[in-house]
Structure 1
Amino acid sequence: MSNVAILRGQNTMPLQALLDRPVAYHSSFVKLGAGATGALMLSQAVYWSSRTNDQDGWFYKSQTEWEAETGLTRYEQEGARKKLAKLGFLEEKKKGLPCKLYYRVALDFLVATLDAENPQTSMGKTSKQDCGKPSGQSGENQQSITENTTESTSDLSQGRVVADLFAGSEYRPMTLGWIPDPKTLKTYAFAQGVPQTAFTTDLIASFSCHYSAHPEVCDTAAGWTNKLVGWAKRQKVTSEANQPASSVPAQAVVDLYHQHCASMATVTVLDTKLRGLIAERWAEHQVHQDLSFWADFFVEASKIELVFYRGQKRQPFLEALVSRDVFRDVMEGRANA
């Protein structure tokens, strides 16, 4: 029997025997701004969310398991995870040593977003010529919207409240004086772990000022609010990363390294470069800002024979261990892989 006949369903059993378990793929997730790879990963995450024994919805899935189930490579997974986390649909946390990465789908937020989003929109960008021109809207109406926007912005300088001109799911460029919808802002901020106190008048003003200078960038009301939350989150991370290196107990970290990695090269000088690397890892996550974490980290690091650092395999030493890639490999138990 020919392959064509098999694919037409005349005898699919031989083909089915060669196929893995099918993965449910929800194309509606693509329209949320997750992209194809993000939608695939989110679809599989939703599947496992209903099968975890954790009452809070967390489940563990290794990188190898993700690839086996979805076919996504390491770099595709990392890109999808970053996008889903930014959108607020997928949460992550690390536990244990060797560190394992756990996931949780923000199901309530996902359902609310699916319910609210117009199927024809997403949180991405539109071309400049389509920006602010929904189907069926005449040029005269568009001119009227522009005039109203200018008038409302002018009113702000007189102390009057600017109305939210982005109501609905139409794409609009940013304008000075934009104010996010409080309920939408609260939802996105909660999903991404950003406190409400972060959204000061100055922060919102700097956000709207930045994007109003780029009229080619357009988004929906929800999309702009999501971007604002991401803006606030990046501001927070940058602020924490820029804290003075002197506030990080670098010498105590070095002492723990000497204590638990006695067979490795001794640090004779705690120079600016090494101090900066330790400060970077310290600021990356709140969990890292605890010396007991570093003690556990160096216990795991002491078991490693070789690390890949600066393009070659070499014996581990402190500078290599606190570099971004090696640090992550030790955290996730891949250093000896």
Structure 2
Amino acid sequence: MSNYTAIREVLNRMSGQYNTFTVPKIYVEYTGDLTTAILLNQVVFLSDKSKRSDGFFYKSYQEWEEEICLSERQVRYSVKKLKNMGFLETSIKKANGAPTVHYKLDYDKLLDSILTFCQIPLEQNVGFHSDNMSQTLTETTTETTTEITTEIPYAEIVNYLNHTAGTKYKHTTKKTQALIKARWNEGFGLDDFTNVINTKVNEWINDSNMKKYLRPETLFSPKFEGYLNQEGGEGNGNYKGSNQLSGYDFSKGNGNITF
């Protein structure tokens, strides 16, 4: 049995369950976040179940949510991340008469990438059996410290601000990127940025004096955490307004998520 076949069997055995899902720790360490690890886990599982000759399989966003509890926005974000990592391909094809996103996993690239991440040369795996390969990968990953750089979604954040506040800021502006990066490095995520935008837009959009402050240099300043946790805001669980992110299409705008 070849090394690729053995590891592929291990990946399939680890991936995808209907009633519970166990996500291998290596997927979290490799992708850099739990959401993308959950999606990768299910993609690996589903890729061998496709009946298409071209290797694609399809899932609606509703089906993703039912199976692995990820929203459309989370799936779009994680799909983009896996595509940028080089082993996931997407295509719009008809399914049940409607255009639906189809997915295709490149097993060889995934395996090469994971082995590189774990720093395991293929020749060192000769003689390993599929039943102990999973333990070997996990142990090696535990012993190896590898820095993972999570892509900062500048375009998604700025385009969402433009969409919500009716502004026209560019996500490529260095000052804007510096502000977003500073908050991102403090541990805030995409949900936090959209929550702050929603909170301040609802508060300021109809105030002629305050509307001008719906801009990156104000919203993403060091006051960001205060905006996130202000009374009546989304960040503290007391927000009563509409969730403007629901149904928002992140495929719009330059540099955004596309399929």
What range describes the TM-score normalised by the shorter chain of this pair? 0.3 to 0.5
- The structure with more radius of gyration: 1
Flag the structure with more relative contact order, 1 or 2, with Cα contacts below 8 A and sequence separation at least 6: 2
TM-score when normalising by structure 2: 0.39
TM-score when normalising by structure 1: 0.30
